[in-house]
Amino acid sequence: MAAKNAVVQDTDLVSGMLTAVQDFVRDSFLSGKTEELDTMHVGEYTVWVSHGPHALLAAVISGAAPPDLRNALQRTLERIHAEFGHALQSFSGDASPLEGTIPMLRSCLLGNQVAKPKRSNRMAFILFDILALLIAGVMFYTIRQEHRWNLYIDRLRSEPGIVLTSAESHWTGYTVIGLRDPLAIDPDELLLQSGLDPAKVLSRWEPYSSLDPAFSNARTLLAGKDVVEQQVIRFALNSAKLDPVELAKLDTVQGAFFSLERQAAVESHKVMIQVLGHTDRSGAETANRLLSEKRAEAVVNALKERGIPASAITAAGVGASRPAQSQSDTYLEDLNRRVTFRVSLPPLRKSR
């Protein structure tokens, strides 16, 4: 422990520096939020720090400290909190209400040596230099985090489909609240790009439908896509011939395609339809795949006759590899003799 006459001249500065160092080390190096900095080495001295709810007790040690010193420091800190807890909790810079703690602190001093001015000054300068460096690190860390937070908020506000209603920065982290269109970029993606710790950002987003033209256009495209993909063209056993009833379903595909094409043209994109032929599992795989290809080609030809350009349609046969129903039942196998559609759309949103 420092000798009795080794007095730190600016206690407020040292206290502030110790607190800043503690916060910086905990945020930057310690793995758990509950871990605390309890030891520092400054030149030939060691600094022990005991932690209390409202105050820290720092002891500057020269040489080897007795094993019970740390316990003595903690007991003293607990006694100070017990007798001066209210004054500590309401402390605003006036130290006079805490003068009664001086005898308790003096009881922790070991030895009666009078510190030599030269040694004391040297220790003070070393301690000041180390703490100044650490405080500079704290300031850099704090400024960098604030800069990242501001960039993240600006990015959220600039994204279409996102309405930020509240953004708060506090000592434990950050809170963002707002509205998000389901087609807008995921705010979590922006958070990962920001460099902020996601564990320290509490986000709450409520769904809403944006009036932005890009999103209304995207919703129209999705609706047209669903119309096409919900159509299923049925076939008879071992046949690739289109029944008149099934052929009429292609009128719906035709109308939905041209509507999709008009919407996609707004952003100079094209719509592609993949026609997939299927069979039941009653035949050999080679024969099934050939039959499924013929069914897909029959549908493609019918769509071409309805004015859909060949460049917008592709055909593929998948045989019995993708059954609509997997149960072994005659009626359910009938459902597997079919042609289905898959629509490729342009990107439905753009990230800035």
Are the beta carbons of 288 and 279 closer than 8 angstroms?
yes
Same domain, 198 and 288: no
Domains contained in the chain, number: 3
Same domain, 28 and 65: yes
- Give the three-class secondary structure for 46: strand
Same domain, 189 and 111: no
Q: Tell me what pLDDT residue 139 has.
A: 74
Q: With bands split at pLDDT 50, 70 and 90, how would you rate the model's confidence at 14?
A: low
Residue 9 has pLDDT above 90, yes or no: no
Which residue, 150, 182, 207, sits at the end of a domain?
Answer: 207
CATH number at 64 reads: 3.30.450
Q: Tell me what pLDDT residue 3 has.
A: 42
Does 148 map to a domain? no
Q: Exposed/middle/buried for 261, CB within 10 Å: 0-12, 13-18, 19+?
A: middle
Same domain, 307 and 338: yes
- Give the three-class secondary structure for 129: helix
Residue 75 has pLDDT above 50, yes or no: yes
- Which residue range forms the structural domain that includes residue 173? 165-207
Beta bridge partners of 327: none
User: For all residues of the chain together, what is the average pLDDT?
Assistant: 80
Is 0.85 surpassed by the pTM of this model? no
The residue with tokens 């001015």 is 117
Which residue, 141, 175, 190, sits at the end of a domain?
Answer: 141
Residue 34 has pLDDT above 70, yes or no: no
Q: Looking at per-residue confidence, does 26 or 92 come out higher? A: 92
Does 146 map to a domain? no
Does 150 map to a domain? no
Summarize pLDDT for 210-263 with one digit per residue, the tens.
Answer: 888 878 888 888 899 999 999 999 999 999 999 999 999 999 999 999 999 888
Does 82 map to a domain? yes
Summarize pLDDT for 250-274 with one digit per residue, the tens.
Answer: 999 999 999 998 888 877 778 999 9
Q: Tell me what pLDDT residue 331 has.
A: 60
CATH number at 235 reads: 3.30.1330.60
Residue 16 has pLDDT above 60, yes or no: no
Are the beta carbons of 47 and 37 closer than 8 angstroms?
no
- Measured at the alpha carbon of residue 32, what is the angle toward residues 64 and 82, in degrees to the nearest 5? 65
Q: Tell me what pLDDT residue 329 has.
A: 60
Q: Looking at per-residue confidence, does 146 or 330 come out higher? A: 146
Average pLDDT rounded to a whole number, residues 167-180: 90
